[in-house]
Amino acid sequence: MRLTLPALSLLLALPAAAQAPQEGFRVVNRTGADATVLNASRAGRGEWGANLLRPDRPLADGQGFRVVPNAEAGCRFDLRLVLGDGRESVLRDQDICAQRTLEMATTTRAPAAASATARQPMAGPVGREAAPAQPNQAARQVSTGTGFLVADGRVMTNHHVIDACNRVILRTPAGPWLEARPPARSDAALDLAVLNVPGLGGPALAFRGGPAVRRGEGVVAYGFPLAGLLSSDPKLTRGEVNGLRGLGDNPSQYQISAEVQPGNSGGPLVDMQGHVVGVVVSKLNAQAVSRRTGDIAQNVNFAVQGGVAREFLRRAGVEPRVAESAGPDRPTADVGEIAHRSTLFIRCER
């Protein structure tokens, strides 16, 4: 892969001997995991700048990426890789004129919950297409839900979250609101949709590619339940996969014990590595069950299976990120931080 960095302004012109080589330099991922973010900035600049990797093309372990800086950028660079699980590999003050291949291996865990959100990249507006939006306070009817970033400009949610909306806007983890633009792709039978949100970028959540999900596995649901009643910040609930089929033996769903409420719809259900295993879709209507059986069902919830959601995205022209879930479970707070960076609040106005 090859990409040219944007021009970097300099206060003083550098002598020719100190200019960056025209052939650039190569960054090799030796971390043992896929990297979703690569940053390269002048040493001491104090900020990382743009992600050089495409959302649909992570830098796999052992793979290299050639960076060709602007000719006036100089020779000293700071480099960073961010892995799909939030860990980082950082090299400081590297002389890319003397060393044309840089291997990045040492990684650290994602920062603690108190600082991870501030330090890690979050989904938000990027580029000229990112037109800011604001809620229409005069809308006749408003409903809310949750979505999550699956690729630049693409947000997955439920069909019922955006069905019959006159306008859909999304509040990003970074704060600003952006408006979804037609066309949206949806499947009413699966209750899935993918929104087109021009100018939205950031880390896309990875779908679990293996091993197969088992009953009893721990999962985390992340989203915005009961907006307007509870606080406006996202909520995390932990639970387990109770069954490998959904209501009425539905083969496209899981039954889960992670508690969800209206507003969670469309949010990510992730495993304890932070990889998507489902899309939260519904909870059992306890009152209806009580009228039918005389008993009150408790904490019966459902999610569209991750594999089903992944195939829907591919049919919609979106190639999702996929990662294997291996190793020990991560702390729930760390999993929540991974989900937080890519989860958006959805407002449907009619």
Look at strands 25-29 and 101-104 and give their pairing.
parallel
Candidate list 265, 282, 325, 342, residue with the active-site label: 265
CA distances from 327 to 127, 273, 291, 307 (A): 37, 8, 45, 21
78 catalytic? Reply is no
Candidate list 191, 257, 275, 334, residue with the active-site label: 191
Look at strands 207-210 and 322-324 and give their pairing.
parallel
For residue 55, the 8-state DSSP code is T
Query: Residue 192 forms beta bridges with which residues?
Result: 187
265 catalytic? Reply is yes
CA gap 96, 89 in Å, rounded: 17
Coil/strand/helix, residue 291: helix
CA distances from 66 to 2, 69, 93, 306, 312 (A): 5, 10, 18, 33, 33
The CB-side HSE value for 27 (13 A sphere, CA atoms) comes to: 30
CA gap 79, 204 in Å, rounded: 21
CA gap 209, 132 in Å, rounded: 35
Candidate list 160, 275, 325, 340, residue with the active-site label: 160
DSSP 223-281: E-TTBTTB-SS-EEEEEEEEESS-GGG-TTEEEE-S---TT-TT-EEEETTS-EEEEEE
Q: Do residues 159 and 168 touch, judged by C-beta distance below 8 A?
A: no
Among residues 262, 265, 267, 260, which one has the least CA distance to residue 281? 265
Q: Which residues form the catalytic set?
A: 160, 191, 265
